[in-house]
Amino acid sequence: MKPFEIAEGIYSVGVEDWNIRDFHGYSTPCGTSYNSFLIVDDKIVLIDTVKKEFADQLLANISQIVDPKKIDYIVSNHTEMDHSGGLPRVMHRVGEDKPLYCSKMGFKNLSLHFGQKWNYRPVENSEELNIGKRTLTFLETRMIHWPDSMFTYIKEDKILFSSDGFGQHYAGPEKFDDQIGEAVMGHAKKYFANILMLYVDRIKQLLNSIGELGLEFNIICPDHGIIWRKNPGKIVEAYARWCDLKPKRKAVVIYETMWDSTKAMAEKIAEGIAEEGVDVRPMHLRAWHRSDIITEVMDARAVIIGSPTLNNTLFPTIMDFLTYMKGLKTKNKIGAAFGSYGWSGESVKLINKELEEMNIEIIDPGLKIKYVPNQEGMDACFDLGKRIGKAILD
């Protein structure tokens, strides 16, 4: 990715990772970008670096604008390795005595990652740094989504460098929201569902604080994906809406199958739900990635889980998904379980236990069918679907 100017004297110098397809359990079919930003003022500032493997590319991009040795300050908004992995290479080139601004928790994290050899400058929340015509304000955003996270704001230009907030895992020819259009919102929703959903209370507090401080944004520059310049308010409004976790009249039927019996049950349950006029999506766990399923779950009212019984327990992919969903702390859900079995049939009981631990209201004891469902069994699946559909509409 060639560097490009965002505003006068402010450049995007980051890199694109075209080939990554799994970002610690999150599917990235469009790759991702590691965005880094260079501000050329009386003092020259670099905001965030990139993944270790791309550090030389970052330095080459910076070199097209200034000699990296002329950088005066480095800001680390977030210490996760996709943003800090390139720091050792950058600091070596820039000069290890140059001030490195970070949150107090960022100082602890970076010290554990790389040692205490650098000139760390831990900042207070709302602390300011004048760099000439511009002033940087550091805003603590703890647990959005790591304890060290912070934003950096240029009040003169009303530009927000938002770290992992407002981002998307996307690499493409488009660099700005007005270039990609509405398609960006699907990427942003998936990012929110899989990275930030469990921090909605923190995000609400942040959005309230932004309102109280009267901060305005002309441009929002996240560390992944496109930059919001035409309508940055759109993604802020979307975050406010997504934080409510208000479900739609929608159900997701998530299932695994061995010999298609549970599949047949899933599709019949979905048919029954649809009969009530409810939007429903049956999703086979080996056909859909768990991160795409969670994106659908985020705004669904009902989550229906189906698994065959394997070795007296759940199918492994079902257990994997339930663990993943539990960690993201979904809210405002109703649920039910179903599955086929040959001998003992524990799957429904085990799914219900997991749903209860997630505070999902179980609206039906569940349905299990031995071996291949006959017509009576399929009718029972359809009826279960109708009951679920009615419960969603209540």
DSSP string for residues in 186-252: HHHHHHIIIIIGGGHHHHHHHHHHHHHHT---SEEE-SSS-BB-S-HHHHHHHHHHHHTTPPPSEEE
Q: Two tokens at 373?
A: 């469902």
**162 HSE (CA, 13 A, CB side):** 27
Q: Are strands 361-362 and 334-341 parallel, antiparallel or unpaired?
A: parallel
Which of 11, 73, 191, 199 is an active site residue?
A: 191
Helix (H, G, I), strand (E, B) or coil at 256: coil
Residue 224 annotated to the active site? yes
Q: How many C-beta atoms surround the C-beta of residue 314 within 10 A?
A: 24
Residue 80 annotated to the active site? yes
Residue 284 annotated to the active site? no
Which of 8, 24, 212, 394 is an active site residue?
A: 24
Tokens 């550091």 belong to 138
Residue 164 annotated to the active site? yes
Crossing angle (nearest 10°) for helices 183-191 and 232-243? 40
DSSP string for residues in 34-49: E--EEEESSSEEEE--
Which of 26, 73, 78, 177 is an active site residue?
A: 78
Which of 164, 177, 256, 296 is an active site residue?
A: 164
In terms of residues, how long is the chain?
394
Nearest 5°: the CA angle 18, 19, 21 is: 115
- Sort 341 into a burial class: Cβ within 10 Å, 0-12 / 13-18 / 19+: buried
Q: Two tokens at 74?
A: 């480095």
CA torsion 113-114-118-120 (nearest 10°) is: 0
Dist CA 110 CA 90 (whole Å): 14
Residue 153 annotated to the active site? no
**In 3D, which of 265, 234, 284 has the Cα closest to residue 376?**
265
Which of 82, 148, 157, 346 is an active site residue?
A: 82
Which of 224, 239, 256, 276 is an active site residue?
A: 224
Dist CA 153 CA 159 (whole Å): 6
Which of 41, 73, 145, 276 is an active site residue?
A: 145
- Enumerate residues 6+ apart whose C-beta is below 8 A from 8: none
Residue 24 annotated to the active site? yes
Contact indicator for 76, 101 with CB cutoff of 8 Å: yes
Which of 41, 48, 80, 354 is an active site residue?
A: 80
**Could you give the residue numbers annotated as active site?**
24, 78, 80, 82, 145, 164, 191, 224
